[in-house]
């Protein structure tokens, strides 16, 4: 093999593909459970959590429940030792179900230490419910401070700041985060209202492949913390570095290990040893732990290419293509010469187009197809549009 060809093959090997044994399991599950099915591999969930802790042992991982709020995923990560980032009361209650058998005092301590309510804008009703649990909550403006002061005065506060999101797949800075120039004033205002600001947080954007975003965000945070302590005399000892940890959807994505080394170096350089570092991995923990299997329910020849209609689509498991800007290649279990094909979802909406350029062998009605790495921001956004239900969830390796 030529050097150039070998390098290309090695790069492709960096992206995990299904082993034959796994393919056989998926086909068997599809026969037993029907289709579409959304298959969650809990062994992979545990492995991903262990990988995060291996490379960032000093960082407390708060799973971003919004990435995939399936209760069994939360249960597996809870048992593995994860903390949780929630952004709604339903998400809070999914986590709460895992701890409700604890004695009240232990439960309260666990919530205080293991949950952050990371939505900067919260309804009054939510704040009133949260107050009894005294959790960490985020804010990024004065109006939110006033609401917290009146309706959840026992909460610990974390100020979310706006940082660069350049190169991230999903940009968040246009909607969330206080301008760094206003940060110290907001923290001082919170203390003046009798509230306690525990920490600072930021988010560099989802699926961040520009690691310079993290470096700049850490430097901004360090400067704000120093200025806050000089001006108010109050110590800030929690730093939440958010999420954005990249998943290797394709070979060009740099590995998490590379980012982790950079983060450890910068954290050691910029912050004191007693700074508690939090992170909110969501996609990183669940994306490659889930696979969808669907069935061909229709077949046609349109615009010069084979066109297949399957019983899952962008209103269901493939919703991540719309909301999360991720393309999930549609693959076949069947072998054969491949040709460029179109794949459509089952609804009566032309928007329900999964891809116009899948590389597939000739398929027949009832043949199965699948997509990998589809665990994040996918099934969680499924609807019942046109009367089609979401894919049935199936668990393996629990």
Q: What would the DSSP string read from start to end of 160-210?
A: EB----TTEEE--TTTS-B-HHHHHHHHHHHHHTT-EEEEEE----EEE--
Mean pLDDT in the chain?
91
Provide the pLDDT for residue 168.
Answer: 58
Length of the chain: 398
The 10s digit of each residue's pLDDT in 240-273 is: 999 888 887 877 777 899 999 999 999 999 999 9
State the pLDDT at residue 110: 94
Query: Strand pairing of 59-64 and 83-86?
Result: parallel
231 has pLDDT over 90: yes
Three-class DSSP category at 313: coil
Per-residue pLDDT tens digits for 26-68: 999 999 999 999 999 999 999 999 999 999 999 999 999 999 9
CA distance 144 to 138: 9
User: Residues 352-370: what's their mean pLDDT?
Assistant: 97
State the Cα–Cα distance between residues 184 and 194, nearest whole angstrom. 16
Work out the percent of the chain whose per-residue pLDDT is above 70: 93
Most confident listed range (4-13, 24-33, 173-182, 210-219):
24-33
User: Distance between CA atoms of 392 and 369, rounded to whole angstroms?
Assistant: 15
Of the listed ranges 3-7, 79-83, 242-246, the one predicted with least confidence: 3-7
CA distances (Å), 347 to each of 218, 305, 307, 383, in order? 45, 20, 15, 11
Domains, the chain, in order of start with CATH, read 3-40+287-396 (2.40.37.10), 42-286 (3.20.20.10)
Mean pLDDT of the 302-330 span: 94
122 φ, ψ (degrees, to nearest 5): -130, 135
pLDDT tens string 279-306: 999 999 999 999 999 999 999 999 999 9
Residue 1: the pLDDT is 38
* Distance between first and last Cα of the chain: 41
Give residue-wise pLDDT tens across range 85-109.
999 999 999 999 999 999 998 998 9
Neighbour count for residue 149 (Cβ, 10 Å): 17
Q: What is the DSSP letter of 120?
A: S
Q: Widest CA span of the chain, in angstroms?
A: 71
Q: Which residues are catalytic?
A: 348
User: Reduced to 3 states, what is the DSSP secondary structure of residue 275?
Assistant: coil
Cis upstream peptide for 192 (omega within 30°): no
């Amino acid at each position: 093999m030529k050097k150039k060809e070998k390098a290309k093959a090695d790069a492709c090997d960096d992206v995990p593909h299904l082993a034959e044994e796994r393919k056989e399991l998926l086909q068997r599950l599809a026969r037993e459970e029907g289709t579409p099915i959304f298959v969650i591999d809990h062994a992979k969930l545990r492995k991903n959590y262990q990988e995060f802790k291996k490379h960032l042992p000093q960082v407390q991982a708060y799973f971003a429940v919004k990435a995939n709020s399936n209760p069994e995923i939360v249960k597996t990560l809870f048992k593995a030792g994860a903390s949780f980032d929630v952004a709604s009361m339903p998400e809070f209650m999914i986590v709460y179900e895992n701890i409700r058998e604890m004695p009240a005092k232990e439960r309260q301590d666990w919530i205080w230490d293991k949950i952050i309510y990371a939505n900067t804008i919260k309804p009054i009703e939510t704040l009133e419910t949260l107050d009894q649990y005294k959790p960490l909550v985020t804010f990024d403006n004065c109006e939110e401070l006033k609401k917290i002061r009146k309706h959840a005065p026992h909460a610990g506060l974390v100020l979310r700041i706006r940082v660069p999101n350049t190169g991230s797949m999903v940009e968040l800075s246009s909607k969330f985060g206080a301008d760094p120039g206003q940060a110290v004033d907001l923290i001082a205002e919170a203390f003046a209202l009798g509230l306690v600001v525990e920490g600072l947080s930021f988010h560099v954007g989802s699926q961040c492949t520009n690691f310079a975003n993290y470096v700049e965000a850490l430097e901004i945070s360090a400067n704000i913390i120093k200025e806050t302590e000089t001006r108010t005399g109050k110590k800030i000892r929690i730093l939440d570095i958010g999420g954005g940890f990249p998943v290797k959807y394709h070979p060009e994505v740099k590995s998490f290990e590379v980012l982790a080394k950079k983060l450890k170096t910068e954290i050691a350089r910029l912050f004191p040893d007693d700074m508690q570092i939090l992170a909110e991995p969501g996609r990183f923990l669940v994306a490659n732990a889930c696979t969808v299997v669907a069935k061909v329910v229709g077949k046609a020849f349109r615009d010069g290419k084979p066109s297949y209609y399957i019983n899952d689509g962008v209103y269901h498991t493939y919703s991540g293509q719309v909301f999360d800007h991720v393309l999930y290649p549609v693959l076949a279990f069947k072998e054969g010469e491949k040709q460029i094909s179109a794949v459509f979802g089952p609804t009566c909406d032309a928007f329900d187009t999964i891809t116009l350029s899948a590389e597939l062998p000739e398929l027949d009605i009832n043949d199965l197809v699948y997509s990998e790495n589809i665990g994040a921001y996918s099934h969680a956004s499924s609807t019942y549009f046109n009367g089609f239900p979401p894919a049935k969830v199936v668990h393996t390796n629990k």
